Amino acid sequence: MASHLSPSLDQTFTYPSSDPQCLIRWTRLGPSDAQALIFIHGTPWSSRLWAPYALALSSRYSVYIFDNPGYGQSRHLTPAATAAFAANGSLSEQAEATAALMAHWGFTSKTTEGEQSNGAPHIIAHDNAGLVSLRMALQYSCIYKSLTLIDVVAVGPWGLPFFKLVAENEDVFKAIPPRMFDGIIRSYIRDAAHKPLRKEDEDMLAEPWVSGDGRPGQEGLVRVLQQASTRKSDDAEVQYHKLGESRLPVRIIWGKEDRWVPCERAEKLKDLIGGKCKVVLVEEAGHLIQLDQPERLMAEIVLFLGEVDE
């Protein structure tokens, strides 16, 4: 499943349109009249982590992928937006921007007149995209056909010790020589996988955070790790039950060896959502389940989407 034939993000969306603060790059794959499917990546990744899955599923679905503001090819943020996104540990800013992007694609939300949608999309979210997608549904009234949550950041307690260390020593981490920082980046990335990463996969994941050519680089990674150290979800967690009550099909998929977000959180999240939400634990997979167990993950995604589409 691993592949670096990443589709070009050849479309752009500025947010907000009245006073552009960020430029989101995106693309759509597959038949335009097919059921829509949206992949959302987390931190510190990009849409390239989802690219092989998006390409494979585009034979059946109309697939949307994009890079979150400040990540990958969506690296251009104004100073004001940089400060806002960095300080927003609740991820409400990112949820608002992604909800606006969905509206730009023509997917409408719940209104006072009732539910309206241009063919509600399936949503597949990884890492902190879990909290983003949950906020989009609960706070920005986005309508989904289904929601797949994969090793997500969505329930506390929060914070890897490394996040706190970076947040408390910002200037030190920004001043580390690039070659030394490259080693830190790679060690951090390797810790997210259960199995040894192929060099080409490690290079792909590290590349956006290596300074140069307009990439976010060292300061960019320090910024997103600072944000991760202040993650907040209490206000959202108390509303998760609304998704179960709405009968939205939700599937939680988790790597059993996830060291970043232990698999016990999957059961906690399932209990908070309720309804028909189910958990699937995948053996021999860590936080980077896309690379640890690609065939099994694809099988679980296809199985769930098939159940919902019947």
In a structure prediction context, what are the per-residue pLDDT tens digits for the chain, which is 310 residues long? 555 568 899 999 998 876 768 889 999 999 999 999 999 999 999 999 999 999 999 999 999 999 998 888 887 777 777 666 666 667 888 899 999 999 999 997 775 444 544 589 999 999 999 999 999 999 999 999 999 999 999 998 776 788 888 888 988 988 899 889 999 999 999 999 999 999 999 999 998 888 665 556 888 888 888 777 767 788 999 999 999 999 999 999 999 999 999 999 999 999 999 999 999 999 999 999 999 999 999 999 999 999 999 8
Distance CA 33, CA 259 (A): 40
Alpha carbons within 13 A on the beta-carbon side of 304: 26
- Reading the block at residue 103, the tokens are 């509206």
- Rounded to 5 degrees, φ, ψ at 84 are -65, -45
The CB density around residue 292, as the number of other CB atoms within 10 Å, is: 23
Using alpha carbons only, give the angle 27, 1, 99 rounded to the nearest 5 degrees.
30
